[in-house]
Structure 1
Amino acid sequence: MATRHRTSSGRGNVGRNAGRAYPGHIIKVGIKDNASVRAVQQRLNEVGCGPLLVSGDFNSSTRSAVRLFQARTVDGQGQALKVDSVVGPLTWTALFGQQALPAITDQPISLLLKACLNIAASQVGVMEDPAGSNRGPQVDEYIRSVRLDPSAGSYPWCAAFVYWSFERAAARVGIANPVVCTAGVLDHWKKAAKAGARLILPEELLDDLSLLKPGLIFTMSTGGGNGHMGLVEGFRDDRLITIEGNTNLSGGREGIGVFRRTGRKVSEITKGFISYDS
């Protein structure tokens, strides 16, 4: 039996539709964006997943062609595409090229968020001492910022790092810190709306990429009442660029330091995003 190879998303981006900008929302059965559907159909024909009638109707034949393309293609980081019949950011860039996605770093954000990201970035490389202890001179400072005594227990500190970054940023720009003061990820998510923040679900963001801005707090439930959160800095190669405390290069919630990571997909953010922009 012949070996089946997946095609890199960086290959074959030629044809009159190559490089077409992502429309900012997912393309799927029932979508009324005829122009984007026609572009997808034309591109699927160009990459050998047709033949399709370029009609602008996301019909069953188009759905099957999308699934075929997804099954045999990898994304910009060499990871298999999810075979889900939906043309979201990952599948769109695999079809049309990385230049098709917008750069979120150009999005206007508040002085608070700019300062927060600068402060968080200055902490990249901070490590626990000793590793795995949830302690260390700087880690203790993060934990104390949410009104906990770091010597009284072993506290996961990703949410504390987010709060500390905003606390320092608020002081720098001369405003009160609007962020919920808690070391609990899911507690933060629960209380954020009452604190005046906007909660954005992953599916909302995938359907409108204009909502994706630097300074969002991504929030994940990891089971058993636990979670993980961090700051969104950018978006590149179909992935979030994040600054996270209490993590590691593999992205676990019980990590060893502050890292800048580039591997998280929007669709993998299980709770959503918190926006304190104003």
Structure 2
Amino acid sequence: MAKNLSFLFAFIVLCGLNSSAQSGISLRDGIQKTYNAAIGVRERTGRNDGVDVEKYLAYVWLKPGNPWCAAFVSWTLGQSGVKKARSGGCVALMEQGTTIYRTNKLTRTPGPGDVFFIYYPTKKRVAHTGFVDKWESTYLITVEGNTNEAGSREGDGVYRKRRLKSQIYAVSTYLN
């Protein structure tokens, strides 16, 4: 009887570990699919508006016309079930996650679904955010909202960008 219980317990533990590993992978994949599907979203009039932009802003209790990079990140994470990241502001959003990179100090290699932040000295705070899609030796590929072809923090849509690591102040994860 004790031997059967030991086998049953081992089976349950192994199944639980396997499910956890799979859910971690599928959560990251789900986030990546959601932000990739948003590439091409554009503001209606160039004033932080439009159906999708307003959906992102409403998710974080903001009205049309507000900057929406953090709202896009929050909404995307929320669609995949990550509820602890919900803010229309970059500083608060960064603080809700676990920092895995800060100005050349790497705790863990960022992956798809982790969130980068850019610091603006003129604002004296982080003021733009988006998703890490790929982390390379000197640059990263991102998907970010409220940007443009030039990489502005006040853009007109969701774009895939290539940014130098030297531009990145911090990367946080919300997947733990």
- The 1-side partners of 2:100 and 2:96 are apart by 8
Q: Which residue of 1 aligns with 2:160?
A: 260
Q: CA deviation at 1:199?
A: 4.4
Q: Report sequence identity in percent.
A: 30
Q: Which residue of 1 aligns with 2:20?
A: none
Q: CA deviation at 1:192?
A: 1.7
Structure 1 segments unaligned to the other structure (5+ residues): 1-108, 171-175
- The 2-side partners of 1:269 and 1:201 are apart by 8
Q: Secondary structure at the match of 2:35?
A: helix
Q: Which residue of 2 aligns with 1:112?
A: 27
Q: Which residue of 2 aligns with 1:229?
A: 129
> Per-residue displacement from partner, 1:59-114 (whole Å, max 9, x unpaired)?
xxxxxxxxxxxxxxxxxxxxxxxxxxxxxxxxxxxxxxxxxxxxxxxxxx543222
- The answer to whether 1:218 aligns with 2:124 is no
Q: Please report the RMSD computed on the Cα atoms of aligned residues, expressed in angstroms.
A: 2.1
Q: Secondary structure at the match of 2:52?
A: helix
The structure whose Rg is larger is: 1
Q: CA deviation at 1:200?
A: 2.4
- The answer to whether 1:202 aligns with 2:103 is yes
Structure number with greater CO (CA < 8 Å, separation at least 6) is 2
- The 2-side partners of 1:113 and 1:146 are apart by 21
Name the structure with the higher strand share: 2
Change (3 A) 1:188 1:258: same
Find the partner of 1:188 among 68, 93, 96.
93
Aligned pair count reads 152
Preserved contact between residue 159 and residue 184 of structure 1 (Cα < 8 Å): yes
Letter in 2 for 1:184: G
Structure 2 segments unaligned to the other structure (5+ residues): 1-23
Preserved contact between residue 247 and residue 257 of structure 1 (Cα < 8 Å): yes
Preserved contact between residue 198 and residue 275 of structure 1 (Cα < 8 Å): yes
Find the partner of 1:129 among 44, 52, 72.
44
